[in-house]
Chains A and B, each alone.
Chain A
Amino acid sequence: MNYVSQFPKTQNNLIIMSETIIVVVICAAAALYIIRRAYLVFSGKSSCCSGSCKPSGGCGCCCKHCTKPCSEMEKKQRDE
């Protein structure tokens, strides 16, 4: 089970370095994801409260700000 201590010292250092890289990548990905979500919320593109984007893949989720491509209908309405 105890995988780190099964390796000699030099390999241990390698493992610690790999672990650090994995942690940095995970944290950066999480931070970027949160920034993107925050941007979508404040730009009015994502506040689907019930998460009910329609099976047709179009707009018309409960808050009408689904980020998925809109149907022609809604585009037309917006233009008008």
Chain B
Amino acid sequence: MSSKIIRAVLAGQPNSGKSTVFNNLTGAHEHVGNYPGITVEWHTGSRKYKETTFELTDLPGTYSLSAYSDEERVARDYIINGDYDFVIDIVDASNLERSLLLTLQLKELGIPVLVVLNMIDLARKNGMNIDKDALSAQLGMPIVECVGYESGAVGAILDAAESLFDALGESGSKSALKLNAEELTKPKPTEEEVAVTTARLEEIKRMCSAAVTSRPKEGPSWSDKVDAVLTNVWLGIPIFLFLLYLVFQLTFTLGEYPMGWIESGFEWLGDWVSGFWAESEESLLKSLIVDGIIGGLGGVLVFLPNILLLFLAIAFLEDSGYMARAAYLADNFMKYIGLHGKSFVPMIIGFGCGIPAIMATRTLSSRKERLITMFIIPWMSCGARVPIYMLLVPAFFPEAYQAWVMWGLYVLGIIVAIIVAKIMSVFVIREENAPFIIELPPYRFPTFRTVGIHTIERGWLYLKKAGTILLGISIVLWALATFPRLPESESEKFEAQRAPIAQKLDELKEANPELETLAKDRDGVQEERDGVEEDAALADAEKEKKLAELDGQLAKFNEQLATYDDLTGQIEEIDNQEAEEQLANSYSGRLGHLMVPVIRTMGFDWKIGTAIVGALAAKEVFVAQMGVVYSIGEADEESESLRDIMKKNYPPLVGLSILVFCLLSAPCVATFAIMVKEAGWSWAFAQFITCTIVAWVISTLIFQVGTWLDIGTKLLM
């Protein structure tokens, strides 16, 4: 028996829960949140239920079929031209009157509709009692009540959908209709259309009065009371900034422990792989695995816990309904820079990734607002920059200030975006602003499922990116930093310096065979000392006593090993010089040296130069490249964390300069490509150049002023 195929499309007003229902029905993981304007493209998914296959399409939200913004146009065009059997109209039951406008328009066009009263629990909680059968009779459409994310919704909706399909038969489905949709494609409403809309609203009011009874409102609701504080003109912005600070504090403090474990894991892995070759053995394969893959990719992967925590916190804020309030608050100052609060939604999405953020500007109906918002999105610090912050902030700033520095970076990005937007709205694009209307959804406690899915998805994306594009880039970066090899004459020069010292060391070891054992014992004592120093449980007096004892032992060892240390130190110095020269001679080194005249003003050396070029491919590559160049450029076999390496080689002022440059510089190549698609080549290039110049100027200012005032110019270790 061949199974039925039913093609339905999920339509509804923004924030009515279409994507939540879609995810529940198809098992997909579309991004959902408790604020309008997240879905800007249509998505398809399928579900096999009983003997029937459902092919479902999730559309962006639209208040009516008279579309004004791009994403509303996507929904309207699909409803008019799409090939499907009927519409599943997702209606927010707690906002019934307003939500039925779209339903009525669909009815007038003769499109078969199944109405799903979503969030029925919330409607009941608000004291609404909806007589489903009466409303169904008024609308002439079947109605299902549900709570979109609950498993029970699946059976209820799909059973009703199948019944509707059977009732319609072949001739009754939408695909058999020819719609006269001319009135829906006009750019602006005429007076006549406004009158029609008013009549529709009157009709809806009449229907609702017959089918809905509401408990009279007893004073302000819990949501209203919270809003009185969170959206207060004076308190709102400080609360928003404080919440942002809390998010970063959480990311740093909780993320530090698992990060340390992963870091130790990669250090162990590097040492274990190195163990397959003799210590003095030169092997390209060893270098590729240890320096290129483990050094580069490992440097990026250790920040996975921080990424997960950051997105967990953002998903929590999104799902609670707070982000819509943030957009409302933002409108107060956004209007002064030629934008309005609606632009803030893509900007918030930009904290995750610039690509969906640029896509999300489709919700803006004015061309001016759309272009300016797209233009400033790269300054919203995206998730790909987080590994750079996680590497550099703890390396150069004391623990108490780390969350503040990160907070400051995000705020700096927002301030630069505001200034550029203002300049653009005054000098570049001059058009009238559209009025700002945003729906403030009710507050709700985020569901574990939604927050969990969003967080895991971000983590999975990060891992996937690391396992594919970042792995590929790490390997290529390693090759660029390894080839061409030093000319033989140069290698011989180093060998000539090394040989007599190595001979002396061998003679010393022969005469004193116990030296190597002594050196190992000393390492053991040093490790014990480090452990005692970090032991917080130990009383001060006891700690001091133990440290004094261990220092005494170390001094004895150092005395016995003085000549041995001197000779091994000299060899290590020559090895490091050779590795450094090899790196400078590589393609990567040559490119970096070419950049030095331009980047020197920011305090960057050629190694950082190569990393900022690599970061154009993907921001995380900055970390990978620093891992690769320092793994290849240092002959030391002992693994050292990249943070320690950075601390050892650069003063805090350079660290800050790098952070600011990475925050403000041009977006990654994928964001550039999406900008080309959405705004054209000229805007994409203008954005690229502006970002680069702004980043260079501000980083140069920070470094030059800091050097002049002598702040943070000394190495920390």
Contact = CB atoms under 8 A, between A and B. Distances in A.
B55 A52 contact: no
B55 A62 contact: no
A52 B29 contact: yes
B461 A27 contact: no
Interface stretch (B212-220, B246-254, B279-287): B279-287
Contacts of A14: none
Interface in A15-42: 16, 19-20, 22-23, 26-27, 30-31, 33-34, 37-38, 41-42
Given A26-B475, A30-B471, A38-B669, A19 B44 contact: no
A64 B41 contact: yes
A63 B44 contact: no
A50 B278 contact: no
Nearest to A44: B677
Interface in A45-80: 47, 49-52, 54-56, 58-64, 71-73, 76-77, 80
Contacts of A58: 44
Contacts of B473: 30, 34
A30 B476 contact: yes
Most chain B Cβ neighbours within 10 Å, of A16, A27, A47, A58? A27
B475 A30 contact: yes
Contacts of B676: 42
Interface string B454-477: 000100110010001101110110
A37 B471 CA distance: 13
B670 A41 contact: yes
Contacts of B313: none
Contacts of A10: none
B28 interface: yes
Of the four ranges (under 10, 10 to 19, 20 to 34, 35 or more), the interface on chain A belongs to 35 or more
B55 A16 contact: no
A10 B275 CA distance: 22
Interface residues of B, number: 50
A46 B418 CA distance: 31
Nearest to A31: B476
A5 B278 contact: yes
Contact of A63 (B41, B276, B281, B476): B41
Nearest to A1: B275
Given A4-B278, A27-B475, A30-B472, A60 B674 contact: no
A54 B57 CA distance: 10
A52 B478 CA distance: 31
A77 B81 CA distance: 8
A73 B479 CA distance: 45
Contacts of A27: 288, 475-476, 478-479
B476 A5 contact: no
Interface string B39-66: 0011111100000000101000000000
Given A55-B26, A55-B45, A62-B356, A19 B673 contact: no
A63 B475 contact: no
A37 B469 contact: yes
A2 to B, nearest CB: 5
A31 to B, nearest CB: 6
Nearest to B29: A52
Contact of A22 (B46, B285, B460, B617): B285
Given A30-B475, A34-B473, A47-B670, A60 B461 contact: no
Contact of B45 (A20, A31, A56): A56
Contacts of B471: 30
A31 B278 CA distance: 30
A27 B289 CA distance: 12
B138 to A, nearest CB: 33
Given A4-B278, A4-B281, A30-B475, A54 B45 contact: yes
A17 to B, nearest CB: 11
A49 B283 contact: no
Given A34-B469, A50-B457, A60 B284 contact: no
A64 B58 CA distance: 13
Given A55-B28, A62-B359, A2 B278 contact: yes
A74 to B, nearest CB: 8
Q: Which of A30, A31, A37, A41 neighbours the largest number of chain B CB atoms within 10 Å of its CB?
A: A30
A46 to B, nearest CB: 9
Interface of B: 26-31, 41-46, 55, 57, 81-83, 275-278, 281, 283-285, 288, 353, 355-356, 359, 457, 460-461, 464, 468-469, 471-473, 475-476, 478-479, 617, 669-670, 673-674, 676-677
30 contacts: A1-B276, A2-B275, A4-B277, A19-B283, A20-B284, A20-B285, A23-B284, A30-B471, A30-B472, A30-B473, A34-B473, A37-B469, A38-B669, A41-B669, A41-B670, A47-B674, A49-B353, A49-B359, A51-B461, A51-B464, A52-B28, A54-B28, A54-B44, A55-B45, A56-B55, A61-B43, A62-B31, A63-B355, A71-B44, A76-B83
- 5 smallest beta-carbon distances between A and B, as pairs: A30-B475, A49-B355, A19-B285, A60-B44, A56-B46
Interface of A: 1-5, 16, 19-20, 22-23, 26-27, 30-31, 33-34, 37-38, 41-42, 44, 47, 49-52, 54-56, 58-64, 71-73, 76-77, 80
